[in-house]
Structure 1
Amino acid sequence: MQSQLELPQKQDNHQELSVGQVIRKNMRQYTMIITLIVIMLLFQLLTDGLLLKPLNITNLILQNAHILVLAIGMVLVIITGHIDLSVGSVAAFVGAVSGIMIINHNVPTFLAIIISLLLGAAIGAWQGFWVAYVKIPAFIVTLAGMLIFRGLTMVALEGKSIAPYPDGFQAMSAGFIPDWLGGGSLHVTTMVIGFVLALLYVFNEWKARKNQISYGFDLQPVGLFIAKLAVIFIVLNLFAYVLATYEGIPNILVILGVLVLLYSFVTNQTTAGRHIYAIGGNEKAAQLSGIKTKKVTFWVFVNMGVLSALSGLLFAARLNAATPKAGNLFELDAIAACFIGGASAYGGIGTVAGAIIGGLVMGIMNNGMSLLGVGIDWQQGIKGFVLLAAVALDIYNKNKAA
């Protein structure tokens, strides 16, 4: 008897889905993308074209990268059915420690970054132990962590900001890749990188489709598939062109891109990723099937600690200061990004790409409302309504499916 774990045998009896079937199958993903596009177009009109100016797009990346880093880790926590309220305070505490090491004690930048990331891992392990092995709800553990590390930040900095960081540290958030191929008004290296990445995306999608055909999987209509590739190819090159007309690709975008690719691969292509989804879907069933649920949950929180530390370093580098107020409400923005991006409040559902799209929605709303002169009080209220609507839609879809 063939094992159920074996890959399906290659066959050629594939079938193309209708456009309606494709839309229904990917409704959650398409809804997120359409929402992002609508919000972009809306604020582009309301700001008289300021939103998509090269300078503002670069600022959007620089201002929101630290939240996107947190969202990548947070979506894994949410998929497992937990929540982490401490990420903003952890980011602030690690940023404070990095400032004390680098600015006050002249610790080499690279060594200080490594120590800071290890500190984040240790904090994540501390919280993961209480959640995974002691079975204290993550809400309580991380709420305690939020209070503890915010207090430690105030103690460490004595209520004062310290600055400035050396140029090498600031370059992490404020620097750009050099133009090795040009040097004029257009950043040629950025254009080449954008074109190559677009080609690689097309090649990878085409290869994936050929594999689906060989195994007889249902496929998108070929016309829709080609149209999707063409649109994404054009968008990637336009994005590269816009960046190239200013300063090129920010260093922080390179860091973020590597994280997105890495975590997308882990969640989609590895056993560890399947275990994370299995725990969120049904922890009891996952445990009975042989998955070490406690170990997986523990490492998800360790990972969240590391990404919180990285977010704190990126934010400190952008501010060029370690400040006691750093990380304020970071956790709410990261959680909102995940839910707006399609993660389920019940666990078991969510993607890295969705979290990034949700984070961009939040970032564009913040930036667009700031350009329009909307006060911070109204901004918070509007973001709250958007988050509520996203979770309500998730619950509606879940009840409808049932």
Structure 2
Amino acid sequence: MRAELSKGQTGWSLGRLFKGNIRQYGMFIALLLIMLLFQILTDGILLKPINITNLILQNSYILILAIGMLLVIITGHIDLSVGSVAAFVGAMSAIMIVEWQMHFVPAMLLSLLMGALIGAWQGFWVAYVRIPSFIVTLAGMLLFRGLTLIVLEGQSISGYPRAFQKMSAGFIPDIPGDYGFHMVTLLAGVAVSLILIFFEWKGRMTQQRYGFDVLPLPLFIGKLAILLVIINLFTYVLASYAGIPNILVMLFLLIVIYTFFMRKTIMGRHIYALGGNEKAAALSGVKTKKMTFWVFVNMGVLAALAGLVFAARLGAATPKAGVNFELDAIAACFIGGASATGGVGTVIGAIVGGLVMGVMNNGMSLVGLGIDWQQGIKGLVLLLAVAFDLYNKNKTA
């Protein structure tokens, strides 16, 4: 009898776990299936260490933009200007670093400040003047694309110092010696695994202490085992090539910081409340205008950071930089489970959505599909993701 009860509880918990997190789990499964599909279609090229590293480097700036765009979408807004802002800030960084011979560290800080001011400019019109974000950021897209062409005079500027370029193209140094693998990367995988085990177990104990429902121990161990296998397999693949890219460390820190911010802070809760129902949030004491303003400031800073990362990877500032970045960032958020009506979405989901887009782009290129087919397939995936979101919302209503 006890065994039957335990089995029934396990099945019920597993079903409830999946239904409660269907957006994120669905995207994780979709990502794994897409990777498996292209691994087969490319005869094993997709998951080779060098290609995995290239995937990280190629999609780093889109993932940075997706984190900022997620907050904007959660509040019920949109930002169409991020690609143009990234291009403009990249152009200004080239002028400061290459033409004015400014050291790249203060130039980067000034570039981030410039992004914050641009975000404040757009946030003011959206939050306080109440002009729809679509219109404000569409105007910003045109404005900053034009300014990029003006400051660059239609030409590319190259000659960034090697130290600046390492931000996007460099790797974490290894322990001296010939080991056959990048040892620091393998040790990092073990360290992250131990930290994950500690926090997962601590969280489980806290939930039990306060009487919350938790996963049955077998399911908890199974979930943790899968995560540990993925982490260590990933670090093993990176260690087989050149190790951990510098940009991956930056992305990891951004993911941790923004996940903590959205889950554990009052401002994060207010952002969700604002997107869920602005009037109810205002009546509950949320300063909705101020919150919207700072979300756009944050988006401006991350757009500037993405512009710096792209310029560092390319080794130059170009007039065509940032084209369609906004579309990829928006698609990453929606594919990752953000709701088109606001109030729903997670940082991890946006990252997974960005990886889905990146793997599809990379896989289709390796297979030999033309850009026309790639754009069409990406459009269908985005449409299906939003339709899936609306279906789930109507089903649970």
TM-score scaled by length of structure 2: 0.96
Tell me if 1:131 matches 2:126.
Answer: yes
Query: CA offsets, 1:23-44, max 9 Å, x none?
Result: 2222222111110110000000
Task: Assess, with a 3 A threshold, how the Cα gap between structure 1 residues 281 and 181 changes in structure 2: closer, same or farther.
Answer: farther
Tell me if 1:200 matches 2:170.
Answer: no
Query: CA offsets, 1:119-147, max 9 Å, x none?
Result: 00000000000000000000000000000
Report the AA paired with residue 278 of structure 2: E
Contact 1:161 1:321 in 2 (8 A): yes
Distance in 2 of aligned mates of 1:114 and 1:161:
22
Distance in 1 of aligned mates of 2:242 and 2:257:
26
Deviation at 1:18, TM superposition (A): 2.3
Counterpart in the other structure of 1:3: none
Query: CA offsets, 1:13-60, max 9 Å, x none?
Result: x99952222222222221111101100000000000000000000000
Contact 2:10 2:219 in 1 (8 A): no
The alignment partner of 1:18 has SS state of: helix
Identify which range, 178-187 or 15-24, moves more after superposition.
15-24
Spell out the pairing of 1:158-169 with structure 2 (5 A cutoff): 158-169=153-164
Counterpart in the other structure of 1:279: 274
Counterpart in the other structure of 1:64: 59
Alignment RMSD (CA, Å) = 1.3
Report the AA paired with residue 379 of structure 1: Q
Counterpart in the other structure of 2:221: 226
Counterpart in the other structure of 2:141: 146
Tell me if 1:290 matches 2:303.
Answer: no
Distance in 2 of aligned mates of 1:164 and 1:223:
56
The alignment partner of 1:111 has SS state of: helix
The alignment partner of 2:316 has SS state of: coil
Report the AA paired with residue 257 of structure 1: F
- Detail structure 1 runs of 4+ shifted over 4 Å in the superposition: 14-17
Counterpart in the other structure of 1:212: 207
Spell out the pairing of 1:257-272 with structure 2 (5 A cutoff): 257-272=252-267
Distance in 2 of aligned mates of 1:39 and 1:165:
37
Distance in 1 of aligned mates of 2:66 and 2:178:
35
Spell out the pairing of 1:151-190 with structure 2 (5 A cutoff): 151-180=146-175, 182-190=177-185
**1:373 pairs with one of 363, 368, 374:** 368
The alignment partner of 1:297 has SS state of: helix
Distance in 2 of aligned mates of 1:219 and 1:181:
45
TM-score scaled by length of structure 1: 0.95
Deviation at 1:235, TM superposition (A): 1.2
Gapped regions of structure 1 (runs ≥ 5): 1-13
Gapped regions of structure 2 (runs ≥ 5): 1-8
Counterpart in the other structure of 1:9: none
Distance in 2 of aligned mates of 1:181 and 1:207:
36
Report the AA paired with residue 335 of structure 2: I
Distance in 2 of aligned mates of 1:32 and 1:183:
39
Contact 2:10 2:216 in 1 (8 A): no
Of all paired residues, the percent bearing the same amino acid is: 68
Tell me if 1:356 matches 2:351.
Answer: yes
Deviation at 1:185, TM superposition (A): 2.8
Determine which structure has the larger helix proportion and give its number: 2
Tell me if 1:108 matches 2:107.
Answer: no
Spell out the pairing of 1:26-105 with structure 2 (5 A cutoff): 26-105=21-100
Deviation at 1:183, TM superposition (A): 4.3
Identify which range, 237-246 or 301-310, moves more after superposition.
237-246
Counterpart in the other structure of 1:250: 245
Distance in 1 of aligned mates of 2:193 and 2:12:
26
